[in-house]
Amino acid sequence: MAGAEIEILLTKAVIDRRVRKLAGKISRDYAGREILIVGVLKGAFIFMADLIRGLSVPCSVDFVRLVSYHDGSVSSGDVRITKDLETPIAGRDVLIVEDIVDTGITLSRLVEVLRERKPASLKVCAFLDKRARRRVPFTADYVGFTIPDGFVVGYGLDYNEKYRFLPDVCLLRDIA
């Protein structure tokens, strides 16, 4: 990591405003219902916590963990669930909360697996959407920000378990 350079892409203030708007939209869309929020570990935990605090509808929480970035920076395309849900989702309104949609492979696979469990509804809220890297068609129902291609860290996102603590979203350059 020697020589890695960090450039702020989204400040904490900009992120906070957008998360509040997303929470308001989700609250309106789910008015009168309870949502099961499914956080995708590890990257989405900070976004998910902020999003939940902004909701005005009841929710419960569970987590899944998927692995597709075996070398730290490039998706392998091989998606494995390493932590599954503990909560049954049949007949429930489920909202997956993910940090970033990159190739679309990971979320497409997760949505496929969860649909088989027959939720009443299943939607996806992605903090970041990197459309330039899409390898399979995938569109999240709620998106915080669409960003250009580049490796991002901060606000829960990491590079080899580093940089999650940063309050801003930053481009990480020279990570060869």
What is the model's pTM? 0.90
Per-residue pLDDT averaged across 9-29, rounded?
98
As annotated, the active-site residues are 102
Phi and psi (nearest 5°) for 152? -110, 150
Q: What is the DSSP string of 82-143?
A: EE--SS--TTSEEEEEEEEESSSHHHHHHHHHHHTT--SEEEEEEEEE-GGG-SS----SEE
* pLDDT tens track for 143-166: 999 999 999 999 999 999 999 999
Phi and psi (nearest 5°) for 61? -135, 140
Domain boundaries, the chain: 5-66+87-173
β-pairing verdict for 169-173 and 151-153 = antiparallel
Q: Is the pLDDT of residue 71 over 80?
A: no
- What CATH number does the domain located at 5-66+87-173 have? 3.40.50.2020
Please give the angle made by the CA atoms of 4, 65 and 36, to the nearest 5 degrees: 120
Structure token pair of residue 101:
């949609």
Q: Is the pLDDT of residue 28 over 90?
A: yes
Q: Is the pLDDT of residue 70 over 90?
A: no
Percent of residues, the chain, with pLDDT higher than 90? 78
Predicted confidence at residue 77, as pLDDT, reads 64
* Residue 18 three-state SS: helix
